[in-house]
Amino acid sequence: MTVEQTYFRKGFGLKKELKPLIDAEYQSALVERIRARGYADTFGDVSVRLAQEFGFCYGVDRAVDYAYETVHKFPDRRIYLVGEIIHNPHVNQRMTEMGISFIYPDDQGCFDFSPLTEEDVVILPAFGVTIHDFETLRGVGCILVDTTCGSVLHVWKRVESYARDGFTAVIHGKYTHEESRATASQVTRYEDGKYVIVRDMDEAGLLCDYIARRPGHLSREELAAHFQQKASPGFDPEADLAHVGVANQTTMLANDSMAIGMKIQEAMVERYGPERAGEHYRSFGTICSATQERQDAVAAMMTSPPDVMLVIGGYNSSNTNHLAHLCRQYTRTFHVEDAGCIDIDTGSIRHKPELDPDADQATDFDWLPEGPFELGITAGASTPNNKIGEALVRILSIRGIEPDLPGSTDRTA
Ligand code: SF4
The closest residue, in CA terms, to atom 5 on ligand 1 is 59
Instruction: Give the residue among 397, 321, 334, 400 at the shortest CA–CA distance from 362.
Output: 334
d(CA 413, CA 83): 26
Partners of 7 in the β-ladder: 144
| CB-CB contact of 396 with 44 (8 Å) | yes
Contact partners, residue 93, CB within 8 Å, separation at least 6: none
Tell me, in angstroms, the distance from the centre of ligand 1 to residue 57's CA.
6
**Atom 2 (ligand 1) nearest CA:** 288
Q: Which helix (H) or strand (E) holds 288?
A: none
Whole-angstrom Cα distance, residue 288 to residue 301?
20
Confidence at residue 2, expressed as pLDDT on a 0 to 100 scale: 46
**Is the Cα dihedral 228, 229, 234, 238 positive or negative?**
negative
Cα–Cα distance, 101 to 36 (Å, whole number): 38
Q: How many Cβ atoms from other residues are within 10 Å of residue 26's Cβ?
A: 19
| 216: Cβ contacts below 8 Å, ≥ 6 apart | 209
At 1 the pLDDT is 46
Report the pocket of ligand 1 as residue ranges, CB < 6 Å.
57-60, 126, 149, 151-152, 250-251, 288, 290-291, 319, 381
Cα 352 to Cα 144, 249, 413: the distances in Å are 36, 22, 21
Tens-digit pLDDT string for the chain (413 aa): 444 589 999 989 999 999 999 999 999 999 999 999 999 999 999 999 999 999 999 999 999 999 999 999 999 999 999 988 777 888 888 999 999 999 999 887 789 999 999 999 999 999 999 999 999 999 999 999 999 999 999 999 999 999 999 999 999 999 988 899 999 999 999 999 999 999 999 999 999 999 999 999 999 999 999 999 999 999 999 999 999 999 988 888 888 888 999 999 999 999 999 999 999 999 877 778 898 899 999 999 999 999 999 999 989 888 999 999 999 999 999 999 999 999 999 999 999 999 988 899 999 999 999 999 999 999 999 899 999 999 999 999 999 998 877 555 565 55
Q: Where are the alpha helices (DSSP H) in 79-219?
A: 89-97, 131-140, 150-164, 178-185, 201-211
Global pTM value: 0.88
Nearest to 256 by CA among 187, 325, 161: 325
pLDDT of residue 382: 87
Mutate to test the pocket of ligand 1, among 291, 292, 319 (most ligand atoms within 8 A of CB): 291
The region that residue 31 occupies, defined by phi over 0 for left and psi between -120 and 50 for alpha, beta otherwise, is alpha
Residue 179 known to be catalytic: yes
Nearest CA to ligand 1 atom 8: 59
Catalytic residue among 69, 179, 203, 337: 179
Closest CA to 399 of 377, 378, 373, 364: 373
Sheet holding 308-312, edge to edge: 40-43, 46-50, 373-379, 308-312, 332-336
